[in-house]
A and B are shown apart, each in its own frame.
Chain A
Amino acid sequence: MKETFAILNQMVTDGAIENYAVAGAIGAIFYVEPFLTQDIDVLVVTPDAEYRLVIELPGWEYLKSRGYNEIRKEGIVVEGWPVQFMPVSNPLEEDAYRTAQTLDYEGTPVRVVLAEYLLAIMLKVGRLKDYARIEMFVKQDAVDYERFEEIIARHGLQEKWLEYKRKFLK
């Protein structure tokens, strides 16, 4: 995985993508215990608002020219890990992308979405597995609630959070 992150960093250095922010289950395991996953979700900004398939995403040509041409589960396999480039598709994801923090993974810098944004995205998506993951963040004391409350207020998720608390955090 370290090698995968190194390639993402190289893509930024070479201008293939503006930047990236690791989200999804792999982003979450920087803060809480892991979930079963086999792909790395990476938020990226696309140059325009057109719909994009994986082969049209920024970075695809760059990776293909370097021999990374296997597609698995809609992701491009980079050093053994399918990387899913997810275009930011709403203001919440854009904020999550812009405010991501750089963490160190075995000496390799990795840009990771803040825990509170991961939580807000899970709340917004709202599948059963997202709710289970939210519980892990809450139970494992991995959330700065002041920051989280600011985020959900800004993105209109307060009602959803109250509903979640009513259902699951009694």
Chain B
Amino acid sequence: MKTYPDVSELYRRREAARKTEAKRPIAEKLAVLEQLREIQEKLAPLREAHKAKVRAARAMKKIG
């Protein structure tokens, strides 16, 4: 049976880091939101294409 690395310590450290990050100033958090909004706009066509593909696959299954 294949063995995998134990990443529990890595996850524990990440959770601890999240708590620290949560204490960042609101201006910094808003700056992150702004960045994400830009990415969201750039990815909108990809998201729509994916949803259209999912809907088309579903419609084909109904027909079939």
Contacts and interface: CB of A to CB of B under 8 A. Distances in A.
Nearest to B2: A91
Interface residues of B, number: 34
Contacts of A37: 36
Contacts of B3: 49
A33 interface: yes
Given A141-B55, A144-B57, A74 B14 contact: yes
A59 to B, nearest CB: 15
Contacts of A74: 10, 13-14, 17
B61 to A, nearest CB: 7
B51 A142 contact: yes
A65 interface: no
Interface of B: 2-7, 9-10, 13-14, 17-18, 20-21, 29, 32-33, 35-37, 39-40, 42-43, 46-47, 50-51, 53-55, 57-58, 61
Interface of A: 1, 29-34, 36-38, 46, 48-54, 73-74, 84, 86-91, 94, 103-106, 115, 140-146
26 contacts: A29-B43, A29-B47, A30-B46, A30-B50, A32-B47, A34-B39, A36-B29, A36-B33, A36-B36, A37-B36, A52-B10, A54-B10, A73-B14, A73-B20, A74-B10, A84-B14, A87-B4, A87-B5, A87-B10, A88-B4, A89-B4, A89-B5, A104-B46, A140-B51, A142-B47, A144-B57
